[in-house]
Amino acid sequence: MLLLQKKYFFFIFLCLSCFFGVAQCAVTFQKNDKEGLKTVSGKIILPAIYDYIDITNKKDRIVLCKDKKSALANGKGELITNFIYDWVDSYYSWGPMTVKKGVGYGLIDSLGNEVVPTIYQQAYRLSSSPFCVVQLSGRWGIMDLKGKMIVPIGYDDLESWNYSEGLIPAKRGSRWGFIDTLNNIKIPFIYDGVEGFSEGLATVALTYGRWGYIDKQNNVIIPFGYDHYGSCDGGGTNFKNGRAKVSVHGRPNLEGYINVKNEFVIPLKYNCIGDFENGFARVQYGKKFGYVDTLGNEWLLNPYNTSAPEWGNIKPPPKDIPYNPNTLSKELPNKRVGLWTMEELLEQALTSFREEPKQYPQMSNLKQLCISYGIFLNGNYVYKFFSKRSQWQAFLNETVFKIISDEKLRISFYNWAMPYYKKCFETLHPFHKKAYKEIAIYLKDYMNSYNLEKTIKFMEEDERAFARKNYKGEIDPCRKMSAFVDRLIIIHKVISVIDAKKWVNIIADEVATWE
């Protein structure tokens, strides 16, 4: 990511660009704060007259919104339904989609047929299953995706998001149990609270505030002794890879991980602990923050850094670097508007590069995290610096893309920004340095084996998954990084494959020398 930061932040601000192109066989574009659709090659499919265009996880299906009404269309922009819906869900890659019409919810199929009529108070798909839960007159039931009622409406609640291992939490009166999708009661309605099953066990509360774990035969496997939500970050308490996060309230509240024998595999000593991903979990211990691995080894960081930047005053950029102050605005106190300078933008980038991975409350894949904050500076980058999407687009076109597309400007920007990133890198924790260096190596390997033809084909076939998977269809935790470079080459056409490969190697080789 440092790599990104250094020069694929070919110029620090670059990458945000790639946020705004999303479509299955096409990409969206903006004009006058409206959205349209075009092919990867630039042919206009739909003019920019829509409030927004959302790409469904299905192939050749898009959601159009105009005048606050939504419709379903195919990949060519041809309407499948009229603009009669207030909302169309774009999440599921198969089966019907949830829609809202007025105050009612239902489901439509890919042909626009209402397979579940829009008469329900709520209608939710059950994840990875051919069922949905519906609410009518305050009570809940389950239907199949053809509209047939298979569990009569009569439950006080059905937690669709906790459906797992064939069982769904159900509520009668004030008590919870579990049913299957044929309305068989699998766990009696005796609990004050329940979570879904995972690895054969479910978190349940017999006396509110005290939680334990049961199996599918309702045997208590881990006694009721823990507090609800074993996580200050709102993460789950279910078992995963033989471990579950638990907490005990007190002064202070403490968190740790247990195994199925109720033995602590991560001590109950942390003020906050996140979920494990790629072998690490984010922790807070007193005033320190860091990571713990599955064996309990710690990498603790200093508290949040509130001191002034440690890289010194940033010198003005070379005069040949494009800079249009009309596109660099920020909101000041009392809603006054001021201008950002290029030096201020670089300082913001350096600050986020150093601070954000340390301050983020969850582990959530450290490399992906470093990429995100390195690229976006902070989660509200676009909205913090630019009041309108068109203003942001102007900044990209007039500043960022001009720098990327010109070799002399690349060199100027690189020579200006690189020393500051190197100095900033020196202030990082070894744990973060390692992650940034691995990302630099990853991108170098990616570009040195670049396949333009297959990348374009993948983008055209499944652009929705483009920032998550490589062209082989494999989930790639660093894909957001390489996908940004792909967009610069294929969509924005501001750099060639040869030049991108050259600069990625320059940056990666430079980062490899940093201590």
pLDDT digits (tens, 9 = 90+) for 275-324: 887 788 888 888 888 888 889 888 877 665 556 566 678 899 999 988 77
Tokens of 254: 């403490």
pLDDT in tens, 14-57: 333 333 323 334 778 888 889 998 887 778 889 999 998 888 76
Q: Are 359 and 304 in contact (CB under 8 A)?
A: yes
Tally Cβ neighbours within 10 Å of residue 91. Answer: 12
Residues 148-202 have pLDDT tens digits of 999 999 999 998 888 999 999 999 999 999 999 999 999 999 999 999 999 999 9
Please report, rounded to a whole number, the percentage of residues in the chain having pLDDT higher than 70. Answer: 80
Structure confidence at residue 379 (pLDDT): 35
Number of C-beta neighbours around residue 209 at 10 A: 12
Per the CB < 8 A criterion, the answer to whether 28 and 21 are in contact is yes
Res. 420: pLDDT tops 60: yes
Q: Write down the pLDDT at residue 231.
A: 53
Tell me the per-residue pLDDT of 212-255, one tens digit each, with 9 for 90 and over: 999 999 999 999 988 875 456 555 688 999 999 998 877 678 89
459-505 pLDDT per residue, tens: 877 766 777 777 777 777 778 778 888 888 988 899 999 999 999 99
What is the reported pLDDT for 66?
A: 94
Mean pLDDT, the chain, integer: 81
Geometric angle at alpha carbon 204, from 202 and 209, rounded to 5°: 145
Element at 244 (helix H, strand E): strand 244-248
Mean pLDDT of 122-135: 87
Q: For position 375, what pLDDT does the model report?
A: 44
Confidence band for 457, pLDDT divided at 50, 70 and 90 = confident
Q: How many CB atoms lie within 10 A of CB 285?
A: 15
Of the listed ranges 121-125, 164-168, 258-262, 380-384, the one predicted with least confidence:
380-384
